[in-house]
Amino acid sequence: MDYETRKSLVPRPERGILRHQPSTYGSSQLGTPLHVYGPQTAVTDILILAAMHGDECDTTVVLSEALRHIPTGCMKNPVVLSVNPDGALRGTRCNARGVDLNRNWPTSNWSAEPVFYRGHGQEHQEIELATGLSPASEPETRSLQALVQKLQPRTVVSLHAPLACVEDPDARPLAQWIAEQVRLPLVPDVGYVTPGSFGTWSVEQGINIITWELPAESLPDLIRSHAPVLRKLITGEYPVEAV
């Protein structure tokens, strides 16, 4: 990091708290406010999301670290630090009603059948979660859907973990740039079907979607390698032609 870049960031002693003031775009099943930080005017270049799965809290920490480096008034693109705060508070992948929010979207391939996942560090994909009583049955889904429709982002970057890749079936320039910056492979898919996912819904809405899967590394390593790139996405320091 050069001197001019360091000079433009929040001084290190002041990075312990989040100074950006959020707006509330909805509430969770248990009434937890859903917060978005940054400008909220259509049309937005990039909307950045973390922790749609509550057991992927490293995505929130890394994104928060990036945001706490940025002075107030210097955000170009909005940020949601936790799509699923109830799940994050409980350490569960699902929300408070046992629904996988990334399978609850009103897509052409939504299914009422339960979904199964492995859990962190496990081999067998046998832990069962619901997809909701109907598409968009969950308040977290409906609230985020309304936010996306309000902001009209050209691209949504959704942070997940721990598959260590950048997913974009169309390999757009922004996805290529992110993958190069963080030295992760750019892949067309994550290798399995995701009915009712936010990514599928975004594609059906004509929104570019990049799924950024953090690797299974320590938080210090993730912050060191990924937070600087997230800062650039938040402040607009990416190639203009990439979006």
Q: In what order do the strands lie in the sheet with 155-160?
A: 22-27, 33-37, 79-80, 46-49, 155-160, 208-215, 163-167, 186-187
pLDDT score of 1: 44
pLDDT in tens, 33-57: 999 999 988 779 999 999 999 999 9
Neighbours of 60 (CB within 10 A): 20
pLDDT band at 149 (very low <50, low <70, confident <90, very high): very high
Q: What angle do CA 235, 88, 181 make, to 5 degrees?
A: 35
Q: Give the model confidence (pLDDT) of 179-233 as tens digits.
A: 999 999 999 998 878 899 999 999 999 999 999 999 999 999 999 999 999 999 9
Can you give the three-state secondary structure of the chain, one letter per residue? CCHHHHHCCCCHHHCCCCCCCEEEEEECCCCCEEEEECCCCCCCCEEEECCCCCCCHHHHHHHHHHHHCCCCCCCCCCEECCCCHHHHHHCCCCCCCCECHHHCCCCCCCCCCCEEECCCCCCCCCEEEECCCCCCCCHHHHHHHHHHHHHCCCEEEEEECCEEEEECCCCCHHHHHHHHHHCCCEECCCCCCCCCCHHHHHHHCCCEEEEEEEECCCHHHHHHHHHHHHHHHHHCCCCHHHC
Q: Which of these is catalytic: 126, 180, 213, 217?
A: 213
Contact 59, 12 (CB under 8 A): no
Domains within the chain, CATH numbers bracketed:
3-242 (3.40.630.10)
Q: Clarify whether 237 is annotated catalytic.
A: no
56-64 mean pLDDT: 98
Q: What is the mean pLDDT of the chain?
A: 93
Q: Are 51 and 60 in contact (CB under 8 A)?
A: yes
Residue 222's φ and ψ, nearest 5 degrees, are: -65, -45
**pTM more than 0.75:** yes
